[in-house]
């Protein structure tokens, strides 16, 4: 974990979140600036800066994160949803701790 990372602080319970799931590998919580009626983040507890920083050793963790998306989306009442991973500043990443956005709801989704 990183001492300065906001997602690491959420994982450690130092910053509150609207948590919807947690296990030994990941924490999932609602985005504080949602772009859709339902918008949550799947965040690994292991601090990894971005998708570009992953390697073969992260394969199971990345797979777990993606497999959680449809289950948790359904639990949140979504029949369809979008996933997004921003990578690097040029890719729109604002928090440099890898995370998967899952969002949907309503009849339209925001343009990305």
Structure tokens at 73: 């989306």
The answer to whether 102 touches 67, Cβ cutoff 8 Å, is no
pTM, two decimals, is 0.93
pLDDT at 49: 96
Residues classed as catalytic = 99
The structural domains of the chain, ordered by start, are 6-104 (3.30.428.10)
What are the tens digits of pLDDT across the range 35-54? 999 999 999 999 999 999 99
CA–CA distances in Å: residue 25 to residues 47, 80, 81, 89, 112:
11, 25, 23, 25, 28
Compute the distance between CA of residue 60 and CA of residue 34 in angstroms, rounded to an integer.
28
For the chain, residues with pLDDT lower than 50 are none
């Amino acid at each position: 974990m990183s001492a300065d990372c906001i997602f690491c602080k959420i994982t450690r319970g130092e910053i509150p979140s609207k948590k919807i799931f947690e296990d030994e590998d990941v924490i999932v919580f609602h985005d504080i600036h949602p772009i859709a009626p339902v918008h949550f983040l799947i965040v690994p507890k292991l601090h990894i800066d971005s998708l570009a920083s992953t390697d073969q050793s992260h394969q199971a963790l990345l797979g777990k994160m993606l497999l959680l998306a449809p289950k948790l989306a359904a639990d949140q009442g979504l029949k369809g949803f979008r996933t997004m991973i921003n990578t690097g500043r040029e890719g729109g990443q604002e928090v440099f701790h890898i995370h998967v956005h899952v969002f949907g709801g309503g009849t339209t989704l925001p343009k990305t």
